[in-house]
Amino acid sequence: MIRLEKRPSPSKVWTYATPVLAVVLTMLAGGILFAILGKDPLEAIRTIFWDPLFHPQFSGFSRPQLLVKAGPLILIAIGLSMGFRAGIWNIGAEGQYIVGALAGAAAGLALYPSESVLIFPMMVIAGALGGWAWAMIPAILKVQFRTNEILVSLLLVYVAENLLASASVGWLRNPEGGGFPGSRSLSGWDASSNPELIAGTGMHWGVVAGFIAVIFAYVVMSRHLLGYHIQLAGQAPRAARFAGVNPSRLIIMCLGISGALAGLAGLFEVTGPAGQISIDFNAGYGFTAIIVAFLGRLNPIGILLAGMLMALTYIGGELAQFMLALPAAAIQAFQGMLLFFLLGVDVLSNYRIRIGARETA
């Protein structure tokens, strides 16, 4: 009989090994899934994980996409991870991402067609503030009325999506666009564009911000009292109060940081890769970032790697759809498996498996 036995201390080895194991298990189970769909599993896995980087024909296009996709994922996931560590569950990063993009775009477009160099920095600030403000709604409701931040932040995503729709067909619509939905091109307007900084790498300001966020989060979590209080509040709320942590302030802080970073990600996306506000601007980064945060063990460096990996499965998934005619749903299931297996094998870091005679301790 198989039993789980609690370890006296969490295993360091397994803490690092479980993400790798989860990836391997996902490949195995995904392979089985693809085989059932009548595709060659090895080829499918290779197409997802290998071809985007090394395929002679496609890698030239797909390699830069890695950073383009990973940038927002990392930026959002870093913010989420700080809240998750404190037991504050912001599920609505997608909404904060949208509102950040809207706020930044609106602030910039208000000054169109000025060519001031201050416009882009101002838009960045507006974007961060937009995401922050959207996250303050669940934060203040939680502090004042003890509402559940999971529900409030999630439902606000749908409100944000409607805001986005109304902006692209109404108040932010391009007046010279011939009545088509969508705003003026932000990437085409020099003052607001967020270009590729080094040609062929996919590197833009959002990716830079993502890297800075990783370093910032690493320092805060390992050296600053805020990071310590976040971990304390997540692990032992009573001990945190005993240590003088004000739970309300922590909620405001954590939701604020994650909202602002999601808003930044939205702003960099709308001014760069997406280029304009459109109805289908949001591509689910805010939700995928939740997977990235957990896959990276809520650890900044881990999130950096997990963001890259997740971006790879996105690009590889698209490639697999295109080359092997795999259905999009199969790719989404594949990505979902990753979180599923990660959470499943996570138990190994705190428990060990014993195989043997039954015994109650």
Least Å distance, CB 225 to other proteins, is 5
| Dihedral of the alpha carbons of 12, 17, 19, 23, in degrees to the nearest 10 | -170
CB 191 within 8 A of CB 199: no
> By CB under 8 A, is residue 249 in contact with other proteins?
no
Least Å distance, CB 101 to other proteins, is 32
Q: How far is CA 136 from the centre of its chain?
A: 19
Least Å distance, CB 67 to other proteins, is 31
Least Å distance, CB 9 to other proteins, is 4
CB 104 within 8 A of CB 130: yes
> By CB under 8 A, is residue 8 in contact with other proteins?
yes
Please identify, using beta-carbon distances, which residue of 57 and 360 lies nearer to other proteins.
360
Least Å distance, CB 7 to other proteins, is 9
The CA distances from residue 256 to 134, 136, 242, 260, 301, in Å, are 9, 6, 24, 6, 21
Please identify, using beta-carbon distances, which residue of 63 and 352 lies nearer to other proteins.
352
Q: Return d(Cα 206, Cα 228) in angstroms, integer.
A: 27
Please identify, using beta-carbon distances, which residue of 15 and 166 lies nearer to other proteins.
15
SS3 call for 38: coil
Please identify, using beta-carbon distances, which residue of 114 and 235 lies nearer to other proteins.
235
Q: Return d(Cα 197, Cα 208) in angstroms, integer.
A: 10
Least Å distance, CB 226 to other proteins, is 7
Query: By CB under 8 A, how many residues form the interface with other proteins?
Result: 23
> By CB under 8 A, is residue 225 in contact with other proteins?
yes
Q: Return d(Cα 49, Cα 316) in angstroms, integer.
A: 6
The CA distances from residue 191 to 110, 115, 182, 267, 343, in Å, are 12, 5, 19, 14, 44
Give the gyration radius of the chain's Cα atoms.
22
The three-point CA angle 179-180-182 to 5° equals 120
Please identify, using beta-carbon distances, which residue of 247 and 344 lies nearer to other proteins.
247
Q: Which stretch binds other proteins (CB under 8 A): 145-153, 227-235, 299-307, 312-320?
A: 227-235
Least Å distance, CB 231 to other proteins, is 7
- Lay out the site mask for other proteins across 151-190 (x = CB under 8 A, - = otherwise): ----------------------------------------
- Lay out the site mask for other proteins across 228-247 (x = CB under 8 A, - = otherwise): x--xx--xx-xx-xxxx-x-
Binding site for other proteins (CB under 8 A): 8-10, 223-226, 228, 231-232, 235-236, 238-239, 241-244, 246, 357, 359-361
